[in-house]
Amino acid sequence: MHDRLAMVRHVLLDNPPNLIASLVLLALLIAAFLGPWVVPYDPIATNTRVALQAPSAQHWFGTDQLGRDVFSRTVVAARLDLVIAFAAVLLSLALGSAIGAAIGYFRGALDATVSRVVDVLMAFPLFVLAMAMVAALGNSVTNVVYATAVINLPFYIRLARAEVSMRSTLGYIEAARVGGSSHVRILCVFLLPNILPSLVVQASLNLGWAVLNAAGLSFIGLGVRAPTPEWGIMVAEGAQFIVSGRWWMALFPGLALMLAVFCFNLLGDGLRDIVDPRNRT
Amino acid sequence: MDRREFGIGAAAVALAGLVPMHRATAQSRAESLRVLSEGSPNSFDPIGIGVNRSSIQVTWNTYDRLVRFGTKPREDGTLYYDYFTIEGELAERYEISDDKRSITFHLRKDATFHDGTPVTAEDVKWSLDRIVASPIGKAQFSTGSMTTPDQFEVLDAQTIRITTPKPDRFTLPNMATTYPIIINSKLAKSHATDADPWASEWLKTNIAGGGPFKLDSAVPGQSVTLSRNDGWKNGALPGFQRVLWQVVPNAQSRRTSLERGDADIVQDLPPQDAVSLAQEAKVKVVGVPMAGAFQFIGMNGNMAPFNNVKVRQAVAYALPYQQMFEAALFKRGRPLFGGKPGEADGMEFPQPLGYATDPAKAKALLAEAGFPTGFDTTFSFELSLATVAEPVSLLIQEALGQVGIRVTINKVPGGQLGTLLEKKEVPFFFEGSAAYLSDPDYFFRIFYNGATRWNFGSYANPEFQGLVEKTRFETDKPVYETEVKRMITLAKEEVPIILLWQPTLDTGMQKSVDGYKYLFHRMLELRTLKRV
Amino acid sequence: MWVLSRLLGIVPTLLGVVIATFVLTHLLPGDPAVFFANSPTADAATIQAIREKLGLDQPLWRQYLIYMGDLLQGDLGKSITTGQPVARDLMQRLPASAELTLTAFLLAVAVALPLGIGAALRPRSLIDHACRLISTAGVSLPTFVTGLLLIYLFYYLAGVSPEPIGRLDPFAAPPPTVTGFFLIDTLLAGDPASFLSALSQLILPSVTMALFALAPLARMTRSAMLGALGSEFIRTARANGLRWHKIVFSYALRNAMLPIVTTFGMVFSYMLGANVLVERVFAWPGVGSYALDALIALDYGPVQGFMLVMAAIFVLVNLIVDIAYGVIDPRTGLTNA
């Protein structure tokens, strides 16, 4: 354990991008938790008298079509975006690793059937599948999360299955089996903790993608504009105003989105370095 | 961005920019009109299934009708159709019989179809028979008492008579709408089959008309090319020889093309772009309030709590009209809020309903209705209306929240809201629609009456329904006016739907393009457009 | 023989896609008959007449059987919104999507491969950090924003790029269709001006897509190369005094090619299905925007056809990747060396 901690320190301090990414993540978390209490304006309240104002001392990032403060909205949006990203990714991580581990361990007919289903799911044009799912289930944040999780699921199932089937022939698993441990115990105690790191790396690289996916859906009008601010939707809406010179509505949430995705990706890389030092030289 | 790739990209872009690509000569460019729109036509048969509004732009300009609405210029010089004068197009004149039950049309003698065949009364009869043979056509034509083929009678090669069971003032205007195009019946019949006697399959993708433009090519979802029919006799020859109409789904791309001078006309500008383009004044923005069109807040009269007239009035008093008008519509329209409450203000409808924002009154009415603490409801709108409907929904959510009505917003993809409305399952919503014919009783018959989804408020007041029946064939003008005024009063007092505004149809065009004419169907009239 | 059995293995996957899409489209809460009866004078009888005409009054299982029967005869049904057979629509639009995707893909590979190899050869150097930064930045912005930004800069402000609408200059006639790829067809027709026009229309949308595809390709190249360079036999080869140049390009790259090619296949098929947004921004007449419009308009046929064709392409690309495996298998490489 101490080794790992030392490793973490090494990865953070020795690699400036990782340090920066961690600091950005920290800022995002602060914004997500404290956002509503520290921003200067109510991010939801409209005030059409000050609609579409350029950035100024009163409104650092300007105001939008309904006169809402873009700065306040950008900060507060961190919460919903982190929720969408983490919820979607955790959902597919949890489901995917459970299913993948089970079929990788038990093999047989179950494995064959589930693998076929996974093949079918992978063969879909994924973005259009997500669109169809949101259109069928209804336009809401929850359904965007579900759709994002489902189209991600096959990758986790495959990864978990591969990792488990590679390990289940190893000596210590055999030993546990001979020693009378139940299948559930073997899976939960011996296998899952071992395959988890590589799954978590995959997940962290996936966080940014989940946010982008939601943004893409809202660009074509699927995905709800709850009054609660969300970066992707703010960018998609602001994009309508870029050519008429009101760049601030898309630019600032766009930068926030970019920053967040950037930070998720760097962290994913850093995490991989910790988990899988083979890739380091 | 990768600096290296940026370099490559920029170099390639610059290279491409240097090569002269416009092989079309300057001369022919001036005589061509390039139109960009969001929608794309999906059929060239106006009575086909699911034909969209964009399709009208093709059929309107490639076919002629017997008659057309007249023209009167607006104050700003824009040409505007005049519903109350109807003039001949293919018919050089028409007479209405003394008993007002029949109209006789005399065809122009030298009119021909695109292939040179002369237009005969037989062609007209076949075209009209075809309409009453289709469910969609018949539904429209029955608003003018035309339901069977024997009502269309050929008198001689150039004369045709339409007879209705009772005098009906909607028969003639119906002949000027988008449905009764006059088809080259010989050509069409040669493509008919036993299963498809009216050649509907063929007419969906082919033009058999004699209008001012011929169809050169059409790629679904991408482009339509038209060229002028130089043998057109039914009006002044159009100004453009060639029309290239392209479909561009993204509003920003359409706008940049217009500003850069690559497009001549961009249709259906979003309100915020219309305002900023007009301010910048690099191009012309023609904005015309759409006659007969309206956007409104619907409340389901079959469903509690909106079956209570006090609740509907309370909502009508709680809406933040001015804010919605400014922030969502950027004032691109004619308000239908405010105005004279209670009684009719003239014979025109839609007209302002007489409600202004008054939260105190709204609260009082809610209390009277038995909802002192308000209620919960869901507000729905359709994806394609989102540019306006989304800001509207947020403003409504906030304003109604202040009088205790808690609103959840539900954005529904295109096809779905119609189904829900048809089943009368939506409690509270934003929608828009338009009537082709301007008579107030026609408007009420469609939007305030009956079991269709177009009766958006599911309004079912027996007195009102009786008036709808009575005004249908009323020929006595004073009686008609009294009855219509009573209907307007009821529409104002009982607010089955809350009218918001008549949106403006904003069309952006180069300053060199002139002769724009607004028509009831809101698509381009290519007959009058020219370059100056 | 092996290829044949792989081809047979595709059938159940495609069948699964067909069934899943059929169920999904029919789950859409909306009645196409109501949607397509869009005239304000349409009443319940009109709607019922339309429903019968579209065959939607049949029970779902029968609709499915009819659809499957047509499918077996190669008939993908008809689109109500375009009025054309779905197969013809897709054939018209597929080349546009394929040309865009292929160009973007090649562009991305041309940048990602050298970048990834360079980063792996000099870990923690400037080029390594650059590789990381670029590939991360590329996937940090939604594609539609990148696209709009490029249009704004290069067309609206600088004016160096042609109007970002469609595949060709609007007043030029499209070349006679041979392959459907304008870049090839214009050359076959001996029309260099149209070729340049098609090329310049392609640049912005393909750069937009390439930026997004860059990241996974560069990443995978880097880590695969790192893995290969660190492996036992490379060290042996170095110890044996083989030239560095030969080690990198003959041994390490060849070894690294396996995972790289897998990623190529996945990225390519993902791009083909995911370019809806780019097609939308650039008015590119491809299959993605076709499917999107159909989905919104409750037009089942095109959505089903699109999903099926995309799935077929996906499994075919995978098959090709598998075959490519055999060709570049490093074991053959080593025995030859």
B251: left (phi over 0), alpha (psi -120 to 50) or beta: alpha
pLDDT at C129 over 90: no
Rounded Cα distance between B283 and B260, Å, is 10
* pLDDT, average across residues B402-406: 93
Interface test with A, best of C139, C222, C282 (most A CBs within 10 A): C139
pLDDT in tens, A4-61: 677 677 766 667 777 888 888 888 888 888 888 888 888 888 888 888 888 888 898 9
Which of A124, A266, A279 is the closest to C136 by Cβ?
Answer: A266
Interface test with A, best of B257, B275, B276 (most A CBs within 10 A): B276
pLDDT at B155 over 70: yes
The CATH number of B293-504 is: 3.10.105.10
pLDDT at B54 over 50: yes
* B438 interfacial to chain C (CB closer than 8 Å): no
Chain B residue with minimum CA distance to A228: B394
Q: What DSSP line would sit under B335-379, residue for residue?
A: E-SBS--SS--SS-SS---SB---HHHHHHHHHHTT-TT--EEEE
Rounded Cα distance between B431 and B389, Å, is 8
Rounded Cα distance between C199 and B19, Å, is 11
pLDDT in tens, A154-194: 888 988 888 887 777 777 777 777 777 777 877 777 777 77
Contacts of A138 in chain B (CB under 8 A): 410
| Omega before B305 within 30 of 0, i.e. cis | yes
Rounded Cα distance between B212 and A138, Å, is 46
**pLDDT over 90, % of chain B:** 66
Beta strands in B143-195 (DSSP E): 152-156, 159-163
Of B74, B92, B93, the closest CA to residue B82 belongs to B74
* A65 interfacial to chain B (CB closer than 8 Å): yes
Q: So what's the pLDDT on residue B16?
A: 41
Mean of pLDDT over chain B:
89
Return the structure tokens found at B111. 């009119």
With helix as H, strand as E and coil as C, how does chain C read? CHHHHHHHHHHHHHHHHHHHHHHHHHHCCCCHHHHHCCCCCCCHHHHHHHHHHCCCCCCHHHHHHHHHHHHHCCCCCECCCCCCEHHHHHHHHHHHHHHHHHHHHHHHHHHHHHHHHHHHHCCCCHHHHHHHHHHHHHCCCCHHHHHHHHHHHHHHHCCCCCCCCCCCCCCCCCCCCCCCCHHHHHHHCCCHHHHHHHHHHHHHHHHHHHHHHHHHHHHHHHHHHHHHHCCHHHHHHHHCCCCHHHHHHHHHHHHHHHHHHHHHHHHHHHHHHHCHHHHHHCCCCCHHHHHHHHHHCCCHHHHHHHHHHHHHHHHHHHHHHHHHHHHHCHHHHHHHC
The subunits that touch chain C, with at least 3 C-beta pairs less than 8 Å apart, are: A, B
> Please, what sign has the CA dihedral across residues B269, B271, B276, B280?
positive
Which residues of chain C from 173 to 212 reach within 8 Å of chain B, CB to CB? Answer: 193, 196-197, 199-200, 203-204, 207, 210-211
* pLDDT, average across residues C4-30: 83
- Residue C129 has a CB neighbour count (10 Å cut-off) of 15
* B249 interfacial to chain C (CB closer than 8 Å): yes
Q: So what's the pLDDT on residue B21?
A: 40
* pLDDT, average across residues B240-256: 89
More confident residue, B263 or C173: B263
Q: Are C257 and C328 in contact (CB under 8 A)?
A: yes
Rounded Cα distance between A151 and A133, Å, is 10
Which of C28, C34, C39 is the closest to B136 by Cβ?
Answer: C39
Cβ within 8 Å, pair B410-A46:
no
Q: So what's the pLDDT on residue B19?
A: 39
What type of residue sits at position C273?
A: G
* pLDDT, average across residues B200-206: 91
Q: So what's the pLDDT on residue B2?
A: 38
Q: Are C328 and C261 in contact (CB under 8 A)?
A: yes
Of B493, B526, B497, B486, the closest CA to residue B509 belongs to B526
Look up residue B42 and give its DSSP letter: -
**pLDDT over 70, % of chain C:** 96
pLDDT in tens, B310-356: 999 999 999 999 999 998 999 999 999 988 888 898 898 899 999 99
Rounded Cα distance between B17 and B8, Å, is 14
* C65 interfacial to chain A (CB closer than 8 Å): no
End-to-end CA distance of chain A: 22
Cβ within 8 Å, pair A220-C277:
yes
pLDDT at A247 over 60: yes
Q: So what's the pLDDT on residue C202?
A: 92
**pLDDT over 70, % of chain A:** 92
* C280 interfacial to chain A (CB closer than 8 Å): yes
Mean of pLDDT over chain C:
82
Contacts of C164 in chain B (CB under 8 A): 253, 256
What values do phi and psi take at B283, rounded to 5?
Answer: -130, 170
- Residue A114 has a CB neighbour count (10 Å cut-off) of 17
Q: Are B516 and B529 in contact (CB under 8 A)?
A: yes
pLDDT at C335 over 70: no
Contacts of C229 in chain A (CB under 8 A): 281
More confident residue, C81 or B442: B442
Contacts of A136 in chain C (CB under 8 A): 24, 27-29
Looking at beta carbons, which pairs linking B67-75 to residues 24 or more positions away fall under 8 Å? B67/B91, B67/B94, B67/B105, B67/B172, B67/B175, B67/B176, B68/B176, B69/B173, B69/B176, B69/B519, B69/B520, B71/B517, B74/B288, B74/B518
Chain A residue with minimum CA distance to C266: A122
Helix (H) or strand (E) run with residue B520 in it: none
* A117 interfacial to chain B (CB closer than 8 Å): no
Q: So what's the pLDDT on residue B27?
A: 57
pLDDT in tens, A250-262: 889 888 888 888 8
Q: So what's the pLDDT on residue A226?
A: 63
pLDDT in tens, C54-76: 788 888 888 888 888 888 888 88
Contacts of A48 in chain B (CB under 8 A): 323, 326-327, 395
Contacts of B419 in chain C (CB under 8 A): 29-31, 34-35
Chain B residue with minimum CA distance to C32: B415
* C53 interfacial to chain B (CB closer than 8 Å): yes
Of A223, A232, A235, A256, the closest CA to residue A145 belongs to A223
Alpha-carbon separation of residue A3 from A8, A194, A199, B427 (angstroms): 9, 17, 21, 62
Rounded Cα distance between A93 and A160, Å, is 9
Cβ within 8 Å, pair A45-B386:
no
Alpha-carbon separation of residue B508 from A245, B56, B272, B275, B516 (angstroms): 18, 19, 12, 11, 11
Contacts of C193 in chain B (CB under 8 A): 19-21, 23
Which of A222, A241, A245 is the closest to B413 by Cβ?
Answer: A222
Rounded Cα distance between A29 and A81, Å, is 11
Q: Where does the pLDDT of residue B165 fall: very low under 50, low under 70, confident under 90, or very high at 90 and above?
A: very high
* C155 interfacial to chain B (CB closer than 8 Å): yes
Alpha-carbon separation of residue A256 from A253, C141, C281, C326 (angstroms): 5, 10, 22, 45
Q: Where does the pLDDT of residue C331 fall: very low under 50, low under 70, confident under 90, or very high at 90 and above?
A: low
pLDDT at A2 over 70: no
Q: CB under 8 Å to A256, separation ≥6 — which residues?
A: A74, A77, A78, A231
Cβ within 8 Å, pair A128-C270:
no
Q: So what's the pLDDT on residue A276?
A: 62
Which residues of chain C from 107 to 166 reach within 8 Å of chain A, CB to CB? Answer: 123, 129, 132-133, 136-137, 139-145, 148, 152, 156
Cβ within 8 Å, pair A261-C140:
yes
Q: So what's the pLDDT on residue A149?
A: 92
More confident residue, C199 or C272: C199
Q: Pairing between strand B79-88 and B517-518?
A: parallel
Q: So what's the pLDDT on residue B22?
A: 43
Question: Which of B286-290, B360-364, C249-253 is predicted most confidently?
Answer: B360-364
Q: So what's the pLDDT on residue C120?
A: 85
Contacts of A50 in chain B (CB under 8 A): none
Q: So what's the pLDDT on residue B18?
A: 39
Interface test with A, best of B252, B255, B282 (most A CBs within 10 A): B252
Rounded Cα distance between C60 and B515, Å, is 52
Count of pairs with CB atoms under 8 A, one residue in A, one in C = 140
* pLDDT, average across residues B201-218: 93
pLDDT at A277 over 70: no
pLDDT in tens, B97-116: 999 999 999 999 889 999 99
Of A101, A70, A130, A260, the closest CA to residue A196 belongs to A101
* pLDDT, average across residues C15-41: 81
Alpha-carbon separation of residue B54 from B37, B42, B61, B245, C287 (angstroms): 9, 8, 12, 11, 21
Q: So what's the pLDDT on residue B181?
A: 95
Q: So what's the pLDDT on residue A199?
A: 82
pLDDT at B495 over 90: yes
Helices (H), B351-476: 359-368, 386-402, 414-422, 440-447, 462-472
pLDDT at C332 over 50: no
Distance from CA of A213 to the nearest CA of B (A): 18
Q: So what's the pLDDT on residue B318?
A: 95
Q: CB under 8 Å to B2, separation ≥6 — which residues?
A: C111, C134, C138, C211, C214
**pLDDT over 90, % of chain A:** 8
Which of B220, B256, B418 is the closest to C84 by Cβ?
Answer: B220
Which of C41, C196, C214 is the closest to B140 by Cβ?
Answer: C41
pLDDT at B463 over 60: yes
Cβ within 8 Å, pair A125-C274:
yes
pLDDT at B367 over 90: yes
- Residue A166 has a CB neighbour count (10 Å cut-off) of 11
pLDDT at C284 over 50: yes
Q: Are C116 and A206 in contact (CB under 8 A)?
A: no
pLDDT at C134 over 90: no
Lowest mean pLDDT among A36-50, B113-127, C323-337: C323-337
Q: Where does the pLDDT of residue B250 fall: very low under 50, low under 70, confident under 90, or very high at 90 and above?
A: confident
Cβ within 8 Å, pair B419-C31:
yes
Rounded Cα distance between B122 and B132, Å, is 16
Alpha-carbon separation of residue A130 from A93, A216, A234, A260, C112 (angstroms): 17, 10, 20, 22, 28
Q: So what's the pLDDT on residue C76?
A: 86
The CATH architecture one would assign to domain B3-264+510-531 is 3-Layer(aba) Sandwich (3.40)
The total number of residues shown for chain B amounts to 532
* pLDDT, average across residues C215-235: 81
Count of pairs with CB atoms under 8 A, one residue in A, one in B = 66
Q: So what's the pLDDT on residue C1?
A: 63
* A135 interfacial to chain C (CB closer than 8 Å): yes
Question: Domains of chain A by range and CATH?
Answer: 2-50+57-279 (1.10.3720.10)
Count of pairs with CB atoms under 8 A, one residue in B, one in C = 216
Return the structure tokens found at A231. 């970066």
Q: So what's the pLDDT on residue B101?
A: 92
Which residues of chain A from 187 to 226 reach within 8 Å of chain C, CB to CB? Answer: 208-209, 212, 215-216, 219-221
The SS3 call for residue B85 is: strand
Rounded Cα distance between C123 and A102, Å, is 38
pLDDT at A1 over 70: no
Assess: ipTM above 0.90.
no
Q: Pairing between strand B406-412 and B265-266?
A: unpaired
* pLDDT, average across residues C113-141: 82
Contacts of A226 in chain B (CB under 8 A): 409
Q: Where does the pLDDT of residue C29 fall: very low under 50, low under 70, confident under 90, or very high at 90 and above?
A: confident
Indicate the domain borders of chain B.
3-264+510-531, 293-504
Interface test with A, best of C25, C133, C141, C317 (most A CBs within 10 A): C141
Q: Where does the pLDDT of residue B512 fall: very low under 50, low under 70, confident under 90, or very high at 90 and above?
A: very high
Return the structure tokens found at B520. 């009831």
Cβ within 8 Å, pair B413-A242:
no
Which residues of chain B from 250 to 289 reach within 8 Å of chain C, CB to CB? Answer: 250, 252-253, 256-257, 259-260, 262
pLDDT at A102 over 90: no
Rounded Cα distance between A28 and A228, Å, is 17
Q: Pairing between strand B223-228 and B159-163?
A: unpaired
Which of C31, C166, C211 is the closest to B1 by Cβ?
Answer: C211
Q: So what's the pLDDT on residue B26?
A: 54
Lowest mean pLDDT among A221-225, A245-249, C185-189: A221-225
Rounded Cα distance between B359 and B375, Å, is 15
Q: Pairing between strand B242-247 and B223-228?
A: antiparallel
Cross-strand partners of B217: B225
